[in-house]
Structure 1
Amino acid sequence: MNKKLENSLLSIWVVSLVATFGSLYFSEIRGYEPCEMCWYQRILMYPIVIMTTIAYIQKNARIAITTAVFAIIGGSISLYHYGIQKLDFLTDSAPACGLVPCTGQYINWLGFITIPFLALTAFIIIAALSFYMMKVLKEEK
């Protein structure tokens, strides 16, 4: 595996690890109970750490397809979740989300950075790196 692929795979691992620890920090240390949509985002983020760990050890850059799929689905959920937090027309019609409302904002840094925004940022970075890896793999053939 060439250095571009190796560094991209390592970067995906770092981003997913930071996102995983960040979500655990908010829930386990700060005591913020995740809503249902947060759980779906976690379900899609946490396995990326495991997948990329194994792929890095095996030097398997073809995992990029899988990480891209996880990132696109997770990013879509994050984008919708962010939308129901920040856009009035979505907030008013937001579905009930269990014990913790999905419209709640535990953090609101700089007036726009919420937990789903952080997750969306991580998913976008992972998707971009995954597509870059797929491009490099295609060029190598």
Structure 2
Amino acid sequence: MNRTHNASHESGWSALFLAWLISLVASGGALFVGEIMGQAPCILCWYQRVFMFPLAVILAIAALSADNGIWRYALPLALGGLSIAGYHVLLYYGLIPEGIVPCGQGPSCADAKMTVFGWVPLPVLSFAAFAAITILLHAIRRNTSK
């Protein structure tokens, strides 16, 4: 194995490990808010969990086996979650009319309890996590195609 390939492999593994760590923290945070703090998630939060929870599992397996080809499977999950989180952020900030809101029941993400440190909304954190994972998976893809 030449030195250039080894450095590329190590940077790919670092990006993979970081993507897994982000998905793990996001999944743990979602479980903490729901199970420890007792805040029931809204329907959009549930949909985001559907995309984030499997990422935590498959990225862990890929990191343990140094599988840089994981981007083929993980990137669609990250992009799906990013799309829902982006829509959720637009709803949160009122950039999409309330009439389009997919659910009328359940907790409101605009509630002060749905923020971290009293000012960072959970939908924004979810969007940031999916965006970071997407960027890292693109970096892995770029490294493996060299």
Give the TM-score normalised by structure 1: 0.87
- Answer whether contact 1:8 1:133 (CA < 8 A) is retained: yes
Match status 1:95 vs 2:101:
yes
Instruction: Report the CA distance between 1:82 and its aligned residue.
Output: 1.2
* Root-mean-square deviation over aligned CA pairs: 2.0
**How many residues in Structure 1 have an aligned counterpart in Structure 2?**
138
Determine whether 1:119 maps to 2:121: no
- Identity across the alignment (%): 28
- Alignment check: 8 A CA contact 1:37 1:77 kept: yes
Give the unaligned 5+ runs of structure 1.
Answer: none
Indicate the SS of the match to 1:90: coil
1:128: which partner in 2?
A: 135
Runs ≥4 residues deviating over 3 A = 101-106, 108-112
Question: Could you tell me how far 1:96 is from its partner in structure 2?
Answer: 4.4
1:23-47 Cα shifts (integer Å, max 9, x gaps): 0111111111001110000000000
C-alpha distance in 2 between matches for 1:91 and 1:53 = 38
Q: How far apart in 1 are the matches of 2:103 and 2:57?
A: 28
- Pair 1:49-2:59 in alignment: no
Q: Looking at CA atoms only, which structure, 1 or 2, has the larger radius of gyration?
A: 2
**Residue type of the partner of 2:114?**
I
Distance 1:111 1:80 in 2: 22
Q: Retained in 2: the 8 A contact 1:81–1:102?
A: no
Contact 2:40 2:107 in 1 (8 A): no
> Where in structure 2 are there 5+ consecutive unaligned residues?
1-5
Paired with 1:48 and 1:108, the residues of 2 have a C-alpha distance of: 23
TM-score (norm 2): 0.85
Aligned to 1:17: 24
Q: CA deviation at 1:109?
A: 5.3
2:71 maps to a residue whose letter is: A
